[in-house]
C-alpha cells in the first residue's frame, strides 16, 4: 500500500491570500516563553509544572522561547562567529567540503541557489530556490561503536571552527535530552518513556546564511514555508529578523530574537508520536532587513531504528492512530526522497 505521508496535504492551500499572509506577517499573538528554572531545581512538582506548560504550548502554538536553558551565551556567540568565518571564505574553498549524505545524515556546504531542492513537505508550489547558503554537521556514532561510519566533512585552515561547532552540538544534545522527561510527563507517560528511542539520537547543526532580499513576494523566500522533520528543533537567532511563524489564527507573526533564549519548535516526528496532538507549525524566512542574516537551527531526533508509533495516551477507540507506524530512518528517507535503502 502506498501511503501519502505528507502532513501538510490539504492543510494549507497556497492561494494568493495565504501567500500574502506569509509574505506580510500581521499577527501579534504571543509566542510563549518556557522557563526551565523550576524543572532544573530538581523537584517533581517543578518538573510537573514545566511539563504542563510545555504540553499547553505544544498543542496550541508549536513554537516557544526557552529561557534558563543552561547553554553558555559565550558558546552561542562563538558559534555565530564561526558561522560568519565559514561563510566569508571564497566559494572555491567552501566547495572543497561539498554537501552529501551518509545514510540520511547530511554534512557539508550547500551554496546559494542550490538550496531550493523540494522536499515532500514544501507548502508553496513553484517557490523560487531558497536565498540561503548552509553548512551542515551531523552527529556521528562514537568511533568505538560497531556501526561507526564517518559522516562529517570539516573545512581545513579554519582553526577553532571544528571544536566550537562540536562543543555546541554536544551542549544542544544535552539540552534536547533534558526535554525527554518533560515531553513524557506532559503526555502522562513515565518520565523515562522516550529515553530508549534516543540511544544514538540524530542531530544536525545547520549554519545558515541569508543575504538581504531586495523585494518581498513572487514566491521568493530565504527559506520557503515548511515544517521541520525533526522531533524538536532548537534555533539560535541573532538580532537580524526574518523568521515568521503561522499562529493559531492562521495569521503569521515575525519572531523577534529574545537575547539569552533559544526558539524551540516541535516537528513532524512529534506529530506522529502524539497522533496529531502536538503541532508541527509552518514557518518561513524572508530577510528583508537589508543586512546579512545568520541563524543556527539544530534538528534533534531519535535513533534511526526508533519506531515512531503513537504513544498509548494519545490513542483511544474514538481517536484511532492517524499515521502509519514507521522507523525514524524510513521517515527521513521519505523526507529527503532518498528511497528505501
Ligand X SMILES: O=C(O)CCC(=O)C(=O)O
**Which chain residues interact with ligand X by CB under 6 A?**
206, 208, 223, 228, 235, 237, 243, 283, 285, 295, 297
CB 137 within 8 A of CB 169: yes
User: Quick one: which of 53, 140, 228, 330 contacts Fe ion (CB under 5 A)?
Assistant: 228
Q: Which residues contact 309 (CB under 8 A, 6 or more apart)?
A: 273, 321, 325
Minimum distance, C-beta of residue 52 to Fe ion, in the bound complex (Å): 26
**What's the number of CA atoms in the CB half-sphere (13 Å) around residue 299?**
21
**How far, in Å, CA of 252 to CA of 29, rounded?**
9
Give the nearer residue to ligand X in terms of CB position, either 39 or 299. 299
By CB under 5 A, the count of residues binding Fe ion is 1
Give the nearer residue to ligand X in terms of CB position, either 285 or 308. 285
Stretch that binds Fe ion, among 33-41, 42-50, 104-112, 222-230 (CB under 5 A): 222-230
Q: Where are the alpha helices (DSSP H) in 88-222?
A: 91-94, 161-178, 180-186
Minimum distance, C-beta of residue 124 to ligand X, in the bound complex (Å): 14
Residue 330 makes contact with Fe ion by CB under 5 A: no
Give the nearer residue to Fe ion in terms of CB position, either 151 or 232. 232
Residue 235 makes contact with Fe ion by CB under 5 A: no
Give the nearer residue to Fe ion in terms of CB position, either 227 or 333. 227
CB 262 within 8 A of CB 236: yes
Give the nearer residue to Fe ion in terms of CB position, either 53 or 228. 228
| Phi-psi sector, 10: left (phi>0), alpha (psi -120 to 50), beta | left
The C-alpha cell at 323 is 499515521
**How far, in Å, CA of 304 to CA of 198, rounded?**
9
What does the angle CA 97 – CA 82 – CA 233 come to, to the nearest 5 degrees? 85
Minimum distance, C-beta of residue 222 to ligand X, in the bound complex (Å): 7
Minimum distance, C-beta of residue 284 to Fe ion, in the bound complex (Å): 8
**How far, in Å, CA of 253 to CA of 37, rounded?**
27
Residue 284 makes contact with Fe ion by CB under 5 A: no
Please give the residue ranges that form the binding site for Fe ion (CB under 5 A).
Answer: 228
Amino acid at each position: 500500500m502506498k501511503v501519502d505521508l505528507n502532513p501538510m496535504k490539504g492543510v494549507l492551500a497556497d492561494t494568493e491570500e495565504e501567500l500574502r499572509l506569509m509574505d506580510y506577517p500581521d499577527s501579534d499573538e504571543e509566542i510563549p516563553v518556557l522557563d526551565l528554572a523550576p524543572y532544573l531545581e530538581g523537584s517533581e512538582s517543578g518538573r510537573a509544572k514545566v511539563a504542563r506548560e510545555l504540553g499547553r504550548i505544544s498543542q496550541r502554538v508549536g513554537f516557544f522561547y526557552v529561557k534558563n536553558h543552561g547553554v553558555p551565551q559565550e558558546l552561542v556567540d562563538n558559534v555565530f562567529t564561526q558561522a560568519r568565518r565559514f561563510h566569508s571564505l571564497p566559494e572555491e574553498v567552501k566547495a572543497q567540503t561539498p554537501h552529501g549524505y551518509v545514510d540520511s545524515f547530511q554534512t557539508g556546504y550547500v551554496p546559494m541557489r542550490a538550496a531550493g531542492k523540494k522536499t515532500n513537505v514544501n507548502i508553496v508550489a513553484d517557490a523560487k530556490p531558497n536565498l540561503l547558503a548552509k553548512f551542515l554537521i551531523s552527529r556521528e556514532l562514537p568511533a568505538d561503536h560497531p556501526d561507526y561510519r564517518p559522516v562529517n566533512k570539516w573545512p581545513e585552515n579554519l582553526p577553532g571552527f571544528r571544536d566550537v561547532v562540536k562543543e555546541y552540538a554536544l551542549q544542544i544534545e544535552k539540552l534536547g535530552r533534558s526535554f525527554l522527561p518533560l515531553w513524557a510527563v506532559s503526555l502522562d507517560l513515565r518520565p523515562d518513556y522516550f529515553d530508549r528511542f534516543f540511544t544514538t539520537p540524530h542531530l544536525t547543526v545547520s549554519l545558515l546564511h541569508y543575504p538581504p532580499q531586495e523585494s518581498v513576494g513572487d514566491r521568493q523566500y530565504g527559506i520557503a514555508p515548511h515544517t521541520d522533520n525533526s522531533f524538536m528543533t532548537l534555533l539560535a537567532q541573532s538580532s537580524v529578523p526574518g523568521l515568521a511563524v503561522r499562529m493559531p489564527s492562521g495569521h503569521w507573526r515575525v519572531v523577534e530574537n529574545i537575547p539569552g533564549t533559544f526558539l524551540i519548535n516541535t516537528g513532524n516526528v512529534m506529530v506522529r508520536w502524539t497522533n496529531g496532538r502536538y503541532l508541527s507549525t509552518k514557518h518561513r524566512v524572508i530577510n528583508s532587513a537589508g543586512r546579512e542574516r545568520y541563524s543556527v537551527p539544530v534538528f534533534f531526533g531519535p535513533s534511526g531504528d526508533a519506531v515512531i508509533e503513537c504513544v498509548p495516551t494519545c490513542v483511544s477507540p474514538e481517536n484511532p492512530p492517524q499515521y502509519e507506524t514507521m522507523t525514524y530512518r524510513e521517515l527521513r528517507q521519505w523526507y529527503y526522497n532518498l528511497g528505501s535503502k
